[in-house]
Amino acid sequence: MLQITGLAASIDGKDILRGIDLTLPQGEVHAIMGPNGSGKSTLSYVLAGRDGYAVTSGSARLDGADLLAMTPDERAAAGLFLAFQYPVELPGVGNANFLRTALNAQRRARGESELDAVQFLKLARAATKQLSMPDDMLKRNVNVGFSGGEKKRNEVLQMALLRPRLAILDETDSGLDIDALKIVAEGVNALRGPNFSALVITHYQRLLDYIVPDRVHVLVGGRIVRSGGPELAHALEADGYAAIAAEAA
């Protein structure tokens, strides 16, 4: 379970998050919606531990452990996964190799046995098949020469293999056509269950037709101004963020 309390953060002295309170119970999927510049991506980076963000107050706990005190790789081993809005290219690094190195690093950190190449490939092939991805995606260099849609699918493939307890999807729907969107949504839905929770960050309601959230939170100006059920996403789509923000103020 993720528990965020009074979280405030700034970058280069500029306040971006101004006191976020959010509880994401185990097994639930919550959506965070908000206009550009509201702090959505900052929230995901602060939770994942990216350098350059100063947490000025508040806390974030994953299953009771203090996330903010951990290095990014410790957070990953604790079960936090961030699907990047702009997945990064790693020239010369094979996708399968990268994934296996990452998976084994996490397993090692958790005191689990590492997977050998054969065990890993079996898992990886099953995952690519489920996501309707060609096998050669594993052989290519990480995100190098991938289309926008392929990059996002590659993020979902990584998520499927790393099996996080908490996934944060940072605008994973941006730049996806409807078919890719469905594949990504299926990937997330396949992981849903009592041991998986997700924070789906999105600008548009469209993705939430395929990943139906338990709760929707509206983030404006670094604060959550409104929370509700899935119907809130539809209201946002109809009335726009301005109306919600004005109403909340």
Partner 1 sequence: MQAVAETTDPVQALTQSGYKWGFATEIETELAPKGLNPDIIRLISARKGEPGWLLEWRLKAYAAWLTMTEPHWAMLAYPPIDYQDLHYYAAPKRKPGPQSLDQVDPELLRTYEKLGIPLRERAILAGVEPAEGSRQVAVDAVFDSVSVATTFRETLAKSGVIFCPISEAVREHPELVQRYLGSVVPTGDNYFAALNSAVFTDGSFVFVPKGVRCPMELSTYFRINARNTGQFERTLIIAEDGAQVSYLEGCTAPQRDENQLHAAVVELVALNEAQIKYSTVQNWYPGDAEGRGGIYNFVTKRGACRGARSRISWTQVETGSAITWKYPSCILQGEDSVGEFYSVALTNHHQQADTGTKMIHIGPRTRSTIVSKGISAGQSNNTYRGLVRIQPKASGARSHTQCDSLLIGEECGAHTVPYIESRNASAKVEHEATTSKIDEDQLFYCRQRGLSQEDAVGLIVNGFCKDVLKELPMEFAVEAQKLLAVSLEGSVG
Told to check if 117 binds partner 1 by CB under 8 A, we report yes
CB within 8 Å of 43: residues ≥ 6 apart:
7, 17, 20, 32, 201, 219
**Triad 185, 21, 31: Cα angle to 5°:** 15
Told to check if 5 binds partner 1 by CB under 8 A, we report no
Q: With contacts defined by CB under 8 A, name the span among 92-100, 176-184, 189-197, 208-216 that binds partner 1.
A: 92-100
Q: With contacts defined by CB under 8 A, name the span among 6-14, 27-35, 87-95, 210-218 that binds partner 1.
A: 87-95
With CB under 8 A as the contact rule, the residue among 34, 43, 62, 81 that binds partner 1 is 81
Told to check if 135 binds partner 1 by CB under 8 A, we report no
**C-beta of 83 vs 224, nearer to partner 1:** 83
**C-beta of 143 vs 205, nearer to partner 1:** 143
Q: With contacts defined by CB under 8 A, name the span among 59-67, 78-86, 206-214, 225-233 that binds partner 1.
A: 78-86
Told to check if 50 binds partner 1 by CB under 8 A, we report yes
At residue 52, φ and ψ (nearest 5 deg) are 100, -10
Told to check if 162 binds partner 1 by CB under 8 A, we report yes
Contact 38, 81 (CB under 8 A): no
Alpha carbon of 43 to those of 32, 189, 197: distances in Å? 10, 23, 16
Separation CA 112–CA 222 (nearest Å): 38
Contact 169, 188 (CB under 8 A): yes
Output the smallest distance, CB 233 to partner 1, in A: 27
Long-range CB contacts (< 8 A, 24+ apart) of 224-230? 224/20, 224/21, 224/22, 224/32, 225/249
**C-beta of 100 vs 226, nearer to partner 1:** 100
Told to check if 103 binds partner 1 by CB under 8 A, we report yes
Told to check if 124 binds partner 1 by CB under 8 A, we report no
Contact 2, 24 (CB under 8 A): yes
Q: Terminal CA-to-CA distance of the chain, rounded, Å?
A: 29
Count of residues near partner 1 by CB under 8 A: 38
With CB under 8 A as the contact rule, the residue among 4, 43, 48, 60 that binds partner 1 is 48
Output the smallest distance, CB 77 to partner 1, in A: 6
Binding site for partner 1 (CB under 8 A): 48-51, 71-73, 75-77, 81-82, 84, 87-94, 96-106, 109, 117, 139, 141, 158, 162
